[in-house]
């Protein structure tokens, strides 16, 4: 996905102005943030829980209401690429290339922080995560905040749980605990940003996400390494268990082993919802047609967009187990495989091809 595709899908243009009522909401949100409020806002990836980085109390409140340890850094969101040099001490050539190509968009760059970024935002580290989101509401909000202002914003969910991809998800999770929730429709990407660390010229992917690894490699003309979650860098989204529903989740290869596992769960009387990418022949297997089956798209972009809403729905309490067909073992599915792996009790050694 190139930044042009992203921009044409979400940018504010004369043909696609933000409705007046929405503009009023955004102005109210900007005023609240300026006076130290905490506001949830839409981005193209997931909804974020935002605070102006210059308001220490608001930053503390984010950690508090998320239940997030204070040494886990927050991503800093801003609007204007010309201000990148204000927020970071150093911009390696690879970082410039990535920023110019993929911003606004689902890319977070980890760079040395400038003195304008408080240590409370980076969890005490001297590196900062920076991102220009590609959503008209987020960009308008950031522009209204003014130049050299930025929002620290983690995903708007409790620590370790599923990220929200609609305003309703945020409302269900935080209700009146925050000052305001800006509505911006369902998130286009549905998975968090790809996090890329650029220390000097060494480029490492810390979290696969909305920008495919292959798009980054193609742009940089080099193979980039993907750091496992055993990293020493503190990246909570890379903890082994994260993005998880409360209902135990298992991921099994498609075909025979998937159906055998389902049969075992059924015999144990475990009420199981199944999620596959292809319609399967369960009628010929003597499996009850009334079983709860969700058919997901066999396309990583559409699958990613629907994944979290689907998990939230299945997590509403009806099921004892969620059984998901493993994603294909191919780079376009990396981000989805990563999230499913962290959310699950069981994940196959080698996903299906
Ligand atoms: O798409 C996204 O990235 C969303 C939207 C709201 O922008 N934000 C998001 O934030 O997913 P959060 O806090 O839920 O996850 C951010 C990840 C965390 O794993 C955090 O540790 C990592 O980014 N991160 C932030 N700053 C970092 C830093 N300085 N070094 C290493 N990792 C960092
Ligand atoms: Mg998160």
Q: What per-residue confidence (pLDDT) applies to 8?
A: 40
The ligand with the least distance to the CA atom of 45 is 1
Ligand 1: residue whose CA is nearest its atom 13: 154
The ligand with the least distance to the CA atom of 73 is 1
Q: Which residues of 186-200 are buried (b: 16+ CB within 10 A; e: fewer)?
A: ebbbbbbbbbbbbee
Residue 49 has pLDDT above 70, yes or no: yes
Residue 348 corresponds to which tokens in the numbers above?
């196959």
Q: What per-residue confidence (pLDDT) applies to 79?
A: 98
Calpha distance 162→155 (Å, rounded): 9
Residue 214 has pLDDT above 80, yes or no: yes
- Give the pLDDT band of residue 243 (cuts 50, 70, 90): confident
Calpha distance 185→137 (Å, rounded): 10
3-class SS of residue 116: coil
Which residue intervals of 221-333 are DSSP H helices? Answer: 256-267, 300-314
Residues with CB under 5 A from ligand 2 (ion): 155
Residue 231 has pLDDT above 70, yes or no: no
pLDDT-above-90 percentage for the chain:
78
Write down the mean pLDDT value for the chain: 89
* Residue 138 in contact with ligand 1 by CB distance below 6 A: no
Query: Which are the contacts of 236, defined by CB distance < 8 A and separation ≥ 6?
Result: 68, 69, 72, 159, 160, 242
In tens, the pLDDT along 308-345 reads: 999 999 999 789 999 999 999 999 999 999 999 999 98
* Residue 74 in contact with ligand 1 by CB distance below 6 A: yes
Residue 92 has pLDDT above 60, yes or no: yes
Dihedral in degrees, nearest 10, Cα atoms 214, 216, 217, 218: 80
Q: What per-residue confidence (pLDDT) applies to 280?
A: 62
Please choose from 59, 75, 79, 236 the residue to mutate so as to test ligand 1's pocket, defined by most ligand atoms within 8 A of CB: 75
The ligand with the least distance to the CA atom of 77 is 1
Tell me what the mean pLDDT of segment 283-311 comes to.
Answer: 84
3-class SS of residue 77: strand
Q: What per-residue confidence (pLDDT) applies to 349?
A: 78
- Give the pLDDT band of residue 227 (cuts 50, 70, 90): confident
Residue 281 has pLDDT above 70, yes or no: no
Tell me what the mean pLDDT of segment 11-35 comes to.
Answer: 84
Q: What per-residue confidence (pLDDT) applies to 288?
A: 63
Ligand 1: residue whose CA is nearest its atom 6: 48
Residue 350 has pLDDT above 90, yes or no: no
In tens, the pLDDT along 166-213 reads: 999 999 999 889 999 999 999 999 999 999 999 878 899 999 999 999
- Nearest Cα neighbor of 212 from 191, 241, 197 is 191
Please choose from 70, 108, 174 the residue to mutate so as to test ligand 1's pocket, defined by most ligand atoms within 8 A of CB: 108
Residue 240 has pLDDT above 90, yes or no: no
3-class SS of residue 177: helix
Residue 216 has pLDDT above 60, yes or no: yes
Radius of gyration of the chain (CA): 20
User: From edge to edge, which strands make up the β-sheet containing 48-52?
Assistant: 180-181, 39-41, 48-52, 151-152, 75-77, 127-131, 107-112, 194-199, 202-207, 225-226
Q: What per-residue confidence (pLDDT) applies to 285?
A: 60
Query: Which are the contacts of 133, defined by CB distance < 8 A and separation ≥ 6?
Result: 43, 44, 45, 48, 77, 104, 105, 106, 139, 142
- pTM metric for this prediction: 0.91
Residue 4 has pLDDT above 70, yes or no: no
Measured CA distances, 155 to 19, 62, 262, 318 (Å): 25, 10, 33, 26
Residue 16 has pLDDT above 80, yes or no: no
Which residue intervals of 78-123 are DSSP H helices? Answer: 84-87, 93-102
């Amino acid at each position: 996905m190139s930044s042009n595709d992203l921009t044409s899908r979400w940018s504010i243009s004369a043909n696609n102005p933000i409705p007046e009522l929405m503009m009023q909401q955004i102005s109210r949100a900007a005023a609240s943030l300026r006076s130290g409020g905490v506001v949830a806002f839409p981005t193209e990836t997931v909804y974020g829980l935002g605070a102006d980085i210059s308001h220490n109390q608001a930053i503390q409140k984010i950690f508090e209401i998320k239940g997030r340890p204070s040494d886990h850094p927050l991503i800093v969101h801003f609007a204007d690429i010309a201000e990148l040099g204000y927020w970071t001490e150093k911009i390696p050539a690879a970082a410039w290339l990535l920023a110019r190509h993929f911003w606004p968009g689902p890319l977070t760059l980890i760079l040395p922080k400038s003195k304008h970024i408080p240590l409370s935002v980076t969890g005490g580290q001297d590196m900062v995560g920076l991102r220009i989101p590609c959503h008209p509401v987020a960009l308008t909000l950031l522009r209204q905040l003014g130049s050299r202002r930025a929002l620290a914003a983690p995903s708007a969910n409790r620590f370790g749980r599923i990220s929200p991809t609609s305003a309703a998800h945020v409302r269900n999770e935080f209700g009146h605990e925050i000052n305001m929730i800006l509505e911006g429709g369902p998130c286009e990407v549905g998975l968090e940003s790809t996090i890329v660390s650029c220390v000097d010229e060494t480029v490492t992917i810390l979290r696969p996400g909305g920008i495919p690894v292959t798009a980054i490699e193609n742009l940089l003309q080099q193979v980039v390494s993907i750091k496992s979650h055993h990293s020493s860098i503190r990246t909570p989204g890379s903890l082994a268990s994260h993005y998880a529903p409360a209902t135990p989740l298992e991921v099994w290869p498609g075909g025979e082993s998937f159906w055998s596992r389902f049969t075992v769960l059924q015999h144990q009387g475990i009420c199981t919802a199944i999620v596959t990418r292809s319609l399967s022949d369960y009628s010929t297997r003597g499996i009850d047609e009334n079983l709860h089956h969700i058919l997901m798209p066999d396309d990583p972009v559409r699958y990613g967009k629907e994944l979290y809403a689907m998990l939230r729905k299945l997590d509403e309490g009806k099921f004892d187990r969620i059984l998901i067909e493993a994603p294909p073992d191919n780079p376009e599915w990396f981000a989805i495989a990563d999230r499913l792996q962290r959310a699950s009790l069981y994940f196959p050694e080698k996903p299906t091809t």
